[in-house]
């Protein structure tokens, strides 16, 4: 998915949603432009639209697929916001990113499409594959010898894995322990507003 100039988008949304904008360089650019400020929405619709864009772009998804996830979550019984969060976080590309196997979701997507990732021992090349509790995510045995994974073990020592995932360094295998739990204060977007936007 082509996103566009990430610096400009992050500034317009008022949130550092891309890895590229979570750097000292971006912070310095922001300081130089102090006073101009990011775009601030007016009204409930504009605010909901902004939250939707922040969530969608955070996960690097197109409008059509993102909207489909929202509709599927609304159709389920129970907590709609939690259902949407689980759907987004459980995507294989996001899990690979959360585990630290890849530095960005885009890199995770490429890693998956190139056949480097297995789920329960089977190669999966679909980034949107929905993982479930109990499944094991691993680097494909033949891929571990490739140059891009030369410093994999050292890199993994610095990764803080979310509580709903676990990682076994000896086996180079991660396990989905449970469903991720949505907490609005821990994210740059509000999924409640996203649900409201699509429920108009």
Give the pLDDT confidence of 173-186 residue by residue, as tens digits. 999 999 999 998 88
Question: What is the pLDDT at residue 200?
Answer: 83
Do 77 and 98 lie in one domain? The reply is no
pLDDT of residue 2: 45
Q: Do residues 167 and 98 both lie within one domain? A: yes
What is the structure's pLDDT at 165?
Answer: 98
What CATH code is carried by the domain that includes residue 83? 1.10.1050.10
Residue 1 belongs to a domain: no
State the pLDDT at residue 1.
54
pLDDT at 131 over 60: yes
Are 104 and 152 found together in one domain?
Answer: yes
Residues 72, 113, single domain; the answer is no
Provide the token pair at 15: 């949130």
104 and 83 co-located in one domain: no
Burial of 19 (0-12, 13-18, 19+ CB in 10 A): middle
**27 and 80 both lie in a single domain:** yes
Asked if the structure places residue 10 within a domain, the reply is: yes
Dihedral sign from CA coordinates of 160, 88, 119, 122: negative
pLDDT at 35: 53
Q: Which residue has the higher pLDDT, 43 or 160?
A: 160
For the chain, how many structural domains are there in total?
2
Task: Please indicate, yes or no, whether residues 112 and 81 belong to a single structural domain of this protein.
Answer: no
Do 101 and 69 share a structural domain?
Answer: no
| Structure-token pair, residue 194 | 């996203």
Query: Please, are residues 161 and 100 in contact by the beta-carbon 8 Å criterion?
Result: yes
Q: What is the pLDDT of residue 13?
A: 60
pLDDT one-digit tens code per residue, 135-193: 999 999 999 999 989 999 999 999 999 999 999 999 999 999 999 999 988 888 999 99
Residue range 59-115, pLDDT digits in tens: 999 999 999 999 999 999 899 999 999 999 999 999 999 999 999 999 999 999 999
Q: Are residues 56 and 113 in the same domain?
A: no
* Strands of 122-123's sheet in order across: 122-123, 117-119, 136-139, 173-176, 165-168
CATH classification at residue 106: 3.10.290.10
Give residue 134's domain range: 91-176
Asked whether residue 75 falls in the same domain as residue 95, the answer is no
pTM exceeds 0.85, yes or no? no
Please indicate, yes or no, whether residues 69 and 113 belong to a single structural domain of this protein: no
């Amino acid at each position: 998915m082509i996103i566009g100039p990430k610096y400009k988008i992050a500034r317009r949304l008022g949130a550092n949603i891309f890895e590229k904008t979570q750097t000292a360089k971006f912070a310095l650019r922001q300081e130089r432009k102090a006073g101009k400020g990011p775009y601030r929405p007016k009204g409930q619709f504009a605010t909901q639209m902004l939250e939707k864009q922040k969530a969608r772009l955070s996960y690097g998804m197109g409008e059509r697929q993102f909207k489909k996830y929202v509709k599927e979550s609304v159709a389920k019984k129970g907590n709609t916001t939690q259902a949407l969060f689980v759907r987004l976080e459980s995507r294989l590309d996001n899990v690979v990113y959360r585990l630290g196997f890849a530095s960005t979701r885009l890199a995770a997507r490429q890693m998956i499409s190139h056949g480097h990732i297995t789920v329960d021992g089977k190669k999966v090349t679909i980034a949107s594959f929905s993982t479930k509790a109990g499944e094991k995510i691993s680097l494909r045995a033949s891929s571990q010898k490739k140059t891009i994974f030369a410093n994999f073990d050292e890199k993994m020592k610095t990764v803080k894995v979310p509580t709903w995932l676990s990682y076994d360094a000896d086996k180079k295998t991660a396990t989905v322990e449970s469903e991720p739990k949505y907490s609005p204060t821990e994210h740059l977007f509000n999924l409640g507003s996203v649900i409201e936007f699509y429920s108009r």
